[in-house]
Structure 1
Amino acid sequence: MLEQKDVNKSVIEESDDINNKSLGKNEELMGTDVSNQNSNEYKSIKPNFIDTLKASLIDLVVIGGISAVGVFVADAILKLAGYSITQKFQMGFIIFMVVMVLYMSIMESGKKSSTIGKKISGLIITKG
């Protein structure tokens, strides 16, 4: 009876060893695949303050220009109907906020996924 228990234990231990070895080989194979994939990807470099500041300022200038044109176009259209915008600064601020949200959303969701300022500064957006 004791011999039978010892044989069962040794058989169970051997099957566990075989399973562990096969799991180890699978993990090694998966590890090589992952490392090959990572070697083909771009290395991420954290952008410095000057580059991000330059990109933000360029984007603000572009958004400000679009907003200014928008205010004058809206005023011209309203003048055709007999109305005018008396508080251009306040209207410009509202248009600036709308343009800023749309500009960032549209430019960063496109194929290049970058705003004009980020393109000029050489910054690349990656999905984390």
Structure 2
Amino acid sequence: MEEKNNLDKGAQEEVLEEAVDSVEEDLASQENLATEEASESRKGEKPSFLQRFQSTLIDQIFVGALSLILLYIFDGIIGLLGFRVSDKLGMYLVAYVLLSIIYPPIIESTKFGNTIGKKASDIITVRMK
């Protein structure tokens, strides 16, 4: 009976070692695949300069339009209180810079995973774990 328990323990230790080795190999392969936040096209190759430029241009147009919309919404709200935005260009630039900074991290951290420009340019963002 004692011999059977020793065999079972030996087999259990062997299975445990194999599982640990398998997990270590998986972690090593994941580290190699996600070295930073790597962007790849859907075909598995790195996106070209034109794809990256296109995605950035689309994102900047989107951020610019969103900034303009937010400026007019803000101007309308404070207009109800009897005030107005006197320097619309300055306020637009402030909104544009702030949205340019916060837009990509917020969108990429949500379930969408990619910005509008990256989706349109067929670029995927690989997350590090």
TM-score (norm 2): 0.64
Q: Which residue of 2 aligns with 1:80?
A: 80
Q: Percent identity?
A: 28
Larger helix proportion of the pair: 1
Output the amino acid matched with 1:46: K
Output the CA distance in 1 between the equivalents of 2:86 and 2:123: 40
Q: Distance in 2 between matches of 1:81 and 1:60?
A: 32
Structure 1 residues 76 and 112: CA distance shift in structure 2, 3 A = closer
Partner of 1:111: 111
SS at match of 1:124: strand
**CA-atom RMSD in angstroms:** 2.5
Question: C-alpha offsets along residues 13-68 of structure 1, whole Å, 9 cap, x if unaligned?
Answer: xxxxxxxxxxxxx8xx86xx66xx78xx8874211010000000000011001000
Greater C-alpha Rg: 1
Q: Distance in 1 between matches of 2:93 and 2:56?
A: 18
Q: How many residue pairs align between the two structures?
A: 95
One-letter amino acid of the counterpart of residue 74, structure 1: F
**Residue in structure 2 matched with residue 50 of structure 1 by the alignment:** 50
Output aligned runs, 1:25-64, within 5 Å.
44-64=44-64
Large movers: runs of 4+ above 3 Å: 41-44
Secondary structure, counterpart of 1:86 in structure 2: coil
Summarize deviations over 1:76-117 as a string: whole Å, max 9, x none: 111111111010000001111121222111111112310000
What is the aligned partner in structure 2 of residue 18 from structure 1? none
| 84-93 or 103-112, larger mean C-alpha shift | 103-112
Q: Give the distance between the partners of 2:125 and 2:83, measured in 1 at CA.
A: 44
Gaps of 5+ in 1: 1-25
TM-score by length of 1: 0.65
Residues 1:89 and 2:59 are matched in the alignment? no
Which residue in the other structure is 2:11 paired with? none
Any stretches of 5+ residues in structure 2 without a counterpart?
1-17, 34-41
